[in-house]
A and B are shown apart, each in its own frame.
Chain A
Amino acid sequence: MRDEAGGDAKEFVDRLRAGEPKAFEELVVTYQHRVFGVALRMLRNAAEAEEVAQEAFLRAHRALADFRGDAKLSTWLYAIVSRLCLTRLGSGERRMARQGEETLMRLANSEGDPSDALERGEVEAALHRAIAELPEDRRIVVVLRDLEGLSYEEIAQALDLELGTVRSRLHRARMDLKDKMERFLP
């Protein structure tokens, strides 16, 4: 099933398209952290991120019967959650104030000792802040490329952009991050 192997298993896609509940559960279990991660990086609020991630899976569930398999399942899910995030960010209806880095930091270090997390969190916090300060259209490209590992082509497919647009946005975003993180670099 997993696209890590280079593509989705046809049998798994068929089970999903047939509406098999177990297959959908497998899909959610497999991609929950990735989808939630994209939402959190973009929205910088855990509650909103969960809401959007749930909505992304529900939309996928409703549209699974129409999934043609032109893109990988992961790319398809990234496309759904990315659009949901950009729509929400652009709608101006966000209920919660920016708590960006703090929420991200808490979640990023949730598995470790909180005091240890605070000690090693300065660089990380600066990086989170730098990501948060990126314009949304550049931030999503960095998130998909450098945090989620999508290829240029997959990003272009997910965001419905030209390849050249993806390259230029990614380059500008990375250079912004480098400039902001320069003082932390050796």
Chain B
Amino acid sequence: MNYHETRDWLSPYVDEALSADERARIDAHLQDCTECRGELDRFRQTLTLLQQLDRPRAPVGFVDRVLAQARPLPWYRRWLARVFLPLPVKLPIEAAALVMLSIGAVYLFQRTPELRQAAREEMPQATVRPETRTSPPPASSPEGFRARSAERAPQAEPESDKPKPQRKVAGAKPPLPSSEPVRPSESVPAPSVQAEAKKEEQAAGSVAAPRSADLRAPAAPSPASPPAQNRSDVSKERAQDAVSPLLRPSGAAKSALGTAIVAGRLAVKDREAAEQALSALLNRLKATELSRRRDSAGLVVEVLVSKDAYPELTQGLARIGSWTLEAEPAELPAQVPMRLRLLE
């Protein structure tokens, strides 16, 4: 064994990791080689220096930090972390999903008549009191209107004030097929056919309309006023409209129901004879007379006639007098509400 071979074996020699034979050979060489003995001494001193190095100590609080990280989180924190972390990724996704769900829910609600029907049934139904419809208009002043409304409110619709916000929501008025604009008082539903009104409301896409339709008592609509009608007539008519539950629709109701009403004037020479002829005609066609009242302009009759009998009714009216159609919906419902004004 020479110097270089001995150098290669110093490490296992110091660690006593050699076989007895290998160790004996190195020992023999070291006895004769002062250079290798010096090398071995320096090797051992280096290892001694290494082993004397201070052992680094973990920083204060190391154990606590490890244990805190290793400690299992409470179930809700694990759940929250799983659901929301990392926030920049999951939060936008979840917000988008929420929006999509909301849109889907609204779409489903609008496309499912059963759901809408169920929602309506939860709303309080208006109590119909026909006798209140025939009472005369109180006054043309706003005070009189308010007083009368307040008087009627507990009888016909105790919660009539509550749905105001809904009425405002659907305040936009769809145009009527008639060339003449129909005043709010003319946009009256036929409450006795709530189902039909609801269908119309669905067609109009109004959320508040069903509520308004429910609030309308079965009363005949007031006739449409011609554009030339003077302002005093208009105010009077509005005051009259305020009397009848039918004629007090909200803006939303007007817009939704106004599309389903037929209004017209029947100019006659003999009003009494015309009234009798009209009654006979309505009986023959099995039309329902909802109300009949007089005002300064003439007699206003509100009727409900089936869609099938409607053409015959208009023909009969033309035979009684000079029948002028003022408003007619584009599509007639199964039960057509009509407001006729008899003028002499």
Q: Does B123 contact A (CB under 8 A)?
A: no
Which interface class (under 10, 10 to 19, 20 to 34, 35 or more) fits A?
A: 35 or more
Q: Does A8 contact B (CB under 8 A)?
A: no
Q: Does B49 contact A (CB under 8 A)?
A: yes
Q: Does A65 contact B (CB under 8 A)?
A: no
Given the known interface contacts A37-B56, A41-B56, A127-B49, the answer about A167 and B17 at a Cβ–Cβ threshold of 8 Å is yes
- A109 and B57 alpha carbons, distance in the complex (Å): 10
- With both chains docked as a complex, state the minimum distance between the C-beta of A171 and any C-beta of chain B, in angstroms: 4
Q: Contact at B12–A167, with CB atoms within 8 Å?
A: yes
- A177 and B48 alpha carbons, distance in the complex (Å): 12
Interface residues of B in 229-271 (CB under 8 A from A): none
Q: Contact at B65–A174, with CB atoms within 8 Å?
A: no
Chain B residues within an 8 Å CB radius of A167: 11-12, 17
Q: Contact at B67–A146, with CB atoms within 8 Å?
A: no
Q: Does A94 contact B (CB under 8 A)?
A: no
Chain B residues within an 8 Å CB radius of A99: none
- A32 and B67 alpha carbons, distance in the complex (Å): 12
Residue of A nearest to B67 (CB): A25
Q: Does A91 contact B (CB under 8 A)?
A: no
Q: Contact at A54–B42, with CB atoms within 8 Å?
A: no
Chain A residues within an 8 Å CB radius of B50: 127, 131, 142, 146-147, 177
- With both chains docked as a complex, state the minimum distance between the C-beta of B56 and any C-beta of chain A, in angstroms: 4
Chain B residues within an 8 Å CB radius of A184: 49
Q: Does B28 contact A (CB under 8 A)?
A: no
Residue of B nearest to A142 (CB): B50
Q: Contact at B59–A33, with CB atoms within 8 Å?
A: no
- A53 and B50 alpha carbons, distance in the complex (Å): 22
Q: Does B284 contact A (CB under 8 A)?
A: no
Given the known interface contacts A54-B65, A146-B50, A171-B11, the answer about A178 and B43 at a Cβ–Cβ threshold of 8 Å is yes
Q: Contact at A127–B63, with CB atoms within 8 Å?
A: no
Give the interface SS of chain B, mostly helix, strand, loop or mixed.
Answer: helix
Q: Does A123 contact B (CB under 8 A)?
A: yes
- With both chains docked as a complex, state the minimum distance between the C-beta of B222 and any C-beta of chain A, in angstroms: 81
Q: Contact at A58–B70, with CB atoms within 8 Å?
A: yes
- With both chains docked as a complex, state the minimum distance between the C-beta of B294 and any C-beta of chain A, in angstroms: 92
Q: Does B77 contact A (CB under 8 A)?
A: no
Chain A residues within an 8 Å CB radius of B53: 108, 124, 127-128, 147
Q: Contact at A170–B56, with CB atoms within 8 Å?
A: no
Interface residues of A in 1-40 (CB under 8 A from B): 21, 24-25, 28-29, 32-37, 40
Chain A residues within an 8 Å CB radius of B56: 33, 36-37, 40-41, 49, 104, 107-108
Q: Contact at A109–B54, with CB atoms within 8 Å?
A: yes
Chain B residues within an 8 Å CB radius of A145: 15
- With both chains docked as a complex, state the minimum distance between the C-beta of A59 and any C-beta of chain B, in angstroms: 10
Q: Contact at B46–A174, with CB atoms within 8 Å?
A: yes
Chain B residues within an 8 Å CB radius of A54: 62, 65-66, 69
Chain A residues within an 8 Å CB radius of B12: 167, 171
- With both chains docked as a complex, state the minimum distance between the C-beta of B333 and any C-beta of chain A, in angstroms: 71
Q: Does A48 contact B (CB under 8 A)?
A: no
Question: Which of A29, A33, A104, A178 has the largest number of chain B CB atoms within 10 A?
Answer: A178
Q: Does B10 contact A (CB under 8 A)?
A: yes
Q: Contact at B54–A61, with CB atoms within 8 Å?
A: no
Question: Which of B43, B50, B66 has the largest number of chain A CB atoms within 10 A?
Answer: B66
- A111 and B15 alpha carbons, distance in the complex (Å): 31
Given the known interface contacts A147-B53, A175-B7, A178-B43, the answer about A24 and B67 at a Cβ–Cβ threshold of 8 Å is yes
Residue of B nearest to A30 (CB): B63
- With both chains docked as a complex, state the minimum distance between the C-beta of A112 and any C-beta of chain B, in angstroms: 9
Question: Which of B43, B49, B56, B67 has the largest number of chain A CB atoms within 10 A?
Answer: B56
Known: A54-B69, A174-B10, A174-B46. 20 other contacts (CB 8 A): A25-B67, A28-B62, A32-B62, A33-B57, A36-B56, A36-B62, A46-B59, A50-B58, A110-B57, A128-B53, A145-B15, A146-B47, A146-B50, A147-B55, A152-B17, A171-B8, A174-B47, A178-B46, A181-B46, A182-B42
- Return 6 A-B CB contacts under 8 Å, by A number: A57-B66, A58-B66, A147-B55, A167-B11, A174-B10, A184-B49
